[in-house]
Amino acid sequence: MTAIDLWLKKSPVAKDYEESDSLREAERRFGVPRRDFMKFAAALVASMGLPSSALGAVVNAMTQSKRPSVIWLQFQECTGCTESLLRSEHPTLDKLILDLISLDYHETLAAAAGHQVEAARKTAMETNKGKYILVVEGAIPMKDNGIYCKIGGKTAIELTKECAADAAAVIAIGSCSSWGGMPSTAPNPTGASSLATVLGKPVVTIPGCPPNPYNFLSTVVHFLTFGKVPDLDAKGRPLFAYGRLIHENCERRAHFDAGRFAKQFGDDGHRQGWCLYKLGCKGPETYANCPQILFNDCGGGAWPVGTGHPCIGCTEEGIGFTKPIHSLAVLKTVTPPTQFARPAEDQGQGATIVTAGAAAVLGGLAIGAGMKLADNLGKRDDAKKPD
């Protein structure tokens, strides 16, 4: 029995909703058993850090609230953020997403094309003015007035500003939209930039390459339930998902504390699941909940470090796609106990002419002093010799 199962069994709130009309509606609307839906709702409540008493409000919001209109724009990206949403199970996340929201415009998923799909976007924006959610996937090129990405005759800059003007909430999904991601790496010929940079104001950012789909769903459910986005950190990320360092919840953390590190891929330490810090793991400087909620619902270890690859820091600006994968992470909050060897020694500066000269002088003095001492010792010895 999982922790969620045990909580549902003991929770009076859960018992009140076990046979509620809301759950019957959920079973009909989403096509999943009521118990599974309850487990899913309880997991969302827990992941968002909400009290158990919020379960009823979340269930009601997911089953009875009017579906918010969503305009989903895509620019410089690989479509990985959308793909991650469509490949989750238990219950099928794409079904929940598409039933929880009214996806009125999405360039990859739309059946229509050309003038038809552009008309659908404009109609949705006019009908739901001030109420729709804008989601932007991908970086936005700003060089040369944004000519490197155009859709329907408009640049990505123009489309973004037009759609953001009357949105109730603006969400940047994925590292490309959040920070500029891979398209913005040097030399960045198109001037790829983040959504916040283009709009000139903070937005809700859900970074990751790809981001965990549950972080997006939880953000949408929070908006449905409370009419506002969840609490955010200084970079616009939901605190429930990006409030803790990966290093704090990593299953390899005990090996870090004990001074056990894999030194190369495939060595004994790597095979035994030792800490990947020396291989460039960015977990100590990356905020995300990857170790807790994992990916793709396929069991334990279903995240990069769990499969034996160092975290690349994709949820952090200036780390993912910027800092070399092999470079050591900055230890922000934790260091190994002092009785163990340091994970890596700081790289010192090579000898300069001045330091080499000083060393030579000191060395010469030491040699001279040693010779003088030996000479004096010899004299003492000679002085003690009988005539």
pLDDT tens digits, residue range 135-164? 999 999 999 999 999 999 999 999 999 999
Residue 302 lies in a domain: yes
Count of domains observed in the chain: 3
pLDDT digits (tens, 9 = 90+) for 44-65: 888 788 877 788 788 888 777 6
Answer yes or no: are the C-beta atoms of 207 and 237 closer than 8 Å.
Answer: yes
Residue 304 structure tokens: 């990069």
* Residues 48 and 81 grouped into a single domain: no
User: Rounded to the nearest 5°, which phi and psi values hold at 367?
Assistant: -65, -45
Under the banding of pLDDT at 50, 70 and 90, the label for residue 370 is very low
d(CA 134, CA 343): 44
d(CA 297, CA 294): 7
Q: What is the mean pLDDT of residues 55-76?
A: 85
Residue 356 lies in a domain: no
* Residues 149 and 167 grouped into a single domain: yes
Burial of 200 (0-12, 13-18, 19+ CB in 10 A): exposed
* Residues 161 and 230 grouped into a single domain: yes
* Residues 224 and 271 grouped into a single domain: no
Check whether 382 has a pLDDT greater than 50.
no
Domain end position, chosen among 14, 31, 60:
60
* Residues 26 and 80 grouped into a single domain: no
User: Rounded to the nearest 5°, which phi and psi values hold at 93?
Assistant: -65, -35
Residue 387 lies in a domain: no
Residue 383 lies in a domain: no
d(CA 221, CA 208): 19
* Residues 82 and 183 grouped into a single domain: yes
Residue 102 lies in a domain: yes
Mean pLDDT for the chain overall: 81
Answer yes or no: are the C-beta atoms of 290 and 246 closer than 8 Å.
Answer: yes
In 142-236, beta strands by DSSP E: 150-151, 154-155, 169-173, 192-193, 204-206
Under the banding of pLDDT at 50, 70 and 90, the label for residue 101 is confident
* Residues 111 and 153 grouped into a single domain: yes
CATH number of residue 174's parent domain: 3.40.50.700
* Residues 179 and 265 grouped into a single domain: no
* Residues 97 and 22 grouped into a single domain: no
Q: What is the mean pLDDT of residues 236-264?
A: 94
Where do we find the tokens 């409370």?
Answer: 226
* Residues 284 and 311 grouped into a single domain: yes
Under the banding of pLDDT at 50, 70 and 90, the label for residue 355 is very low
Residue 128 lies in a domain: yes
Output the pTM of the full model.
0.79
* Residues 156 and 263 grouped into a single domain: no
The least confident of 9-18, 295-304, 350-359 is: 350-359
What pLDDT score was predicted for residue 176? 97
Task: Compute the Cα dihedral for 155, 129, 62, 31 and give only its sign.
Answer: negative
Task: Compute the Cα dihedral for 294, 97, 33, 20 and give only its sign.
Answer: positive
Amino acid identity at 187: P
Residue numbers of the domain that contains 340: 244-346
Residue 289 lies in a domain: yes
* Residues 147 and 269 grouped into a single domain: no
